[in-house]
A = this chain, B = another copy of it.
Amino acid sequence: MKKVRIGLIGAGFMGRTHSNAYKSINNIFGDEVVPELVAVADVNADNAKALAEKYGFQRWTDDWKEIVKAEDIDMVDITTPNASHCPIAIEAANNGKHVYCEKPLAMTAQEAIHATKVVEDAGIVNSVGFNYVRNPIQQYVKELIASGELGTVVNFRGMYDQDYYNDPEQKHEWRMFKSASASGALGDLASHTLSLSQYLIGDISSVCGMTQIIVPERPDPADPSHMLPVENDDLVQFMYTYENGACGTIFSNRLAAGRKMSLGYEIQMTNGCIVYNQERQNEVQIYRHDDDKRERGFKTVLIAPGHGEYERFFGGAGICLGYADQKTIEVYHTLKCVADKTPCEIDFRFGMKVMQVIDAVLESAENHQWVSIK
């Protein structure tokens, strides 16, 4: 049994989600690796205290620097607003702490490149929280593609649509300002589609995209009679090429009426096809062109033993996992890498590449031309 001593920074929604996962992993994964909840920090001291008491952290503070320097902490878990992800991660790495950082890794590709260099040079284990990649079905899909049984990838069509901003009367939020969030649907939603594309298929070499603002201004939450501008993309669509020669399209609309959790893809291959959507996270559609001609078709495969970590949860197929279970698997993988001092599959370099694509799409949309990713 290995123990990992945790210092959590950020006591908001994601701080609680991570804490829940720390409480659950041993129920599912046994005692391979056990988190010890040492300390939690939040600029709002009350929030830090409340979370510490609720989940049993040994102490709390309003100063995150105490966490990154603490002798009794092995890993720093960063769930703060986006702008502070890299600064904290760098400080933690410089103090020799392993780092587990929520997505998006950074505000810009440049910042992500710098942070990646720092953590890699420091030789510490680093992990980024792209939780949808952790659905056991994605691990099966990755193995299936890699096996070559379906030939090679030809085309990826991905999306992440939601309708959480569909109502034009809905108030303005910080996410709609460029200063706080360079992109809109692109970084918030399509970044997850990119994480799946990158995890399953590989790196993107060039992009060509466009963005649209559907609702150009929204009521100021402080004074609803006053309108504030929406500065970033409500909708984004972009074509791209992979380094391996395949191509794809990704789109995302954060006002997409009817789409609640529509993160998905269709992967067209030379000898098969795979279709997935997060609204039905416990199944995947698989087509094999080698089947008998009279019986070719898309097969609805329910989550089953043999798909990633599913068997740790249940012995039989088709018993649904939920959103929270994906995060539990992510935390398990992260802690295990920290305990074993092995690299994480979804690390800073992975998150950096997602940021590079995002920045290239923004540049392409602004200049109306293809942009290469060096």
Chain A residues near B (Cβ < 8 Å): 16, 19-20, 23-24, 26-27, 54-55, 140, 150-151, 154-155, 157, 159, 161-164, 166, 208-210, 212, 214, 235, 237-239, 241, 247, 249, 251, 253, 255-262, 268-273, 278-283, 286-287, 289, 291, 293-302, 304-307, 313-314, 316-325, 368-370
Which chain B residues border A320 with CB–CB below 8 Å?
261, 278-279, 281-282, 320-323
Which chain B residues border A27 with CB–CB below 8 Å?
16, 19-20, 23, 54-55
Q: Measured between C-beta atoms, what is the minimum distance from A248 to chain B in Å? A: 8
The one of B271, B281, B314 in contact with A323, judged by C-beta atoms closer than 8 angstroms, is B314
CA distance A210 to B246 in the complex (A): 12
The one of B159, B212, B281, B370 in contact with A368, judged by C-beta atoms closer than 8 angstroms, is B370
Query: Chain B residue with minimal CB distance to A298?
Result: B300
Q: Measured between C-beta atoms, what is the minimum distance from A18 to chain B in Å? A: 11
Which chain B residues border A368 with CB–CB below 8 Å?
208, 369-370
The one of B157, B261, B291, B369 in contact with A319, judged by C-beta atoms closer than 8 angstroms, is B261
CA distance A140 to B286 in the complex (A): 22
CA distance A297 to B279 in the complex (A): 12
The one of B235, B281, B294 in contact with A307, judged by C-beta atoms closer than 8 angstroms, is B294
Whether A289 pairs with B324 at a CB distance below 8 angstroms is no
Query: Chain B residue with minimal CB distance to A291?
Result: B299
Which chain B residues border A298 with CB–CB below 8 Å?
258, 299-300
Whether A257 pairs with B247 at a CB distance below 8 angstroms is no
The one of B247, B258, B295, B304 in contact with A289, judged by C-beta atoms closer than 8 angstroms, is B258
Q: Measured between C-beta atoms, what is the minimum distance from A215 to chain B in Å? A: 9
Which chain B residues border A324 with CB–CB below 8 Å?
313, 322, 325
23 A-B residue contacts at CB 8 Å? Answer: A16-B27, A23-B24, A24-B24, A27-B55, A154-B255, A155-B253, A164-B316, A208-B368, A235-B247, A256-B268, A258-B296, A258-B298, A260-B318, A261-B316, A261-B320, A279-B318, A279-B320, A286-B297, A293-B304, A295-B301, A296-B304, A297-B300, A321-B323
How many of these chains are in the complex? 4
Whether B249 pairs with A155 at a CB distance below 8 angstroms is no
Interface centre among A20, A55, A318 (most CB of B within 10 A): A318
Which chain B residues border A271 with CB–CB below 8 Å?
166, 257
CA distance A163 to B268 in the complex (A): 11
Q: A155-B253, A279-B282, A320-B323 are in contact. List 16 more A-B contacts (CB 8 A).
A: A24-B24, A27-B54, A208-B239, A210-B241, A238-B239, A257-B273, A261-B302, A279-B302, A293-B306, A294-B301, A296-B304, A297-B302, A299-B299, A320-B322, A322-B324, A368-B369
Q: Measured between C-beta atoms, what is the minimum distance from A175 to chain B in Å? A: 14
The one of B23, B154, B313 in contact with A253, judged by C-beta atoms closer than 8 angstroms, is B154
Which chain B residues border A317 with CB–CB below 8 Å?
260-261, 296
Which chain B residues border A54 with CB–CB below 8 Å?
26-27
Query: Chain B residue with minimal CB distance to A13?
Result: B315
CA distance A140 to B294 in the complex (A): 8
Whether A294 pairs with B306 at a CB distance below 8 angstroms is yes
Whether B273 pairs with A259 at a CB distance below 8 angstroms is yes
Which chain B residues border A237 with CB–CB below 8 Å?
155, 239, 247, 249
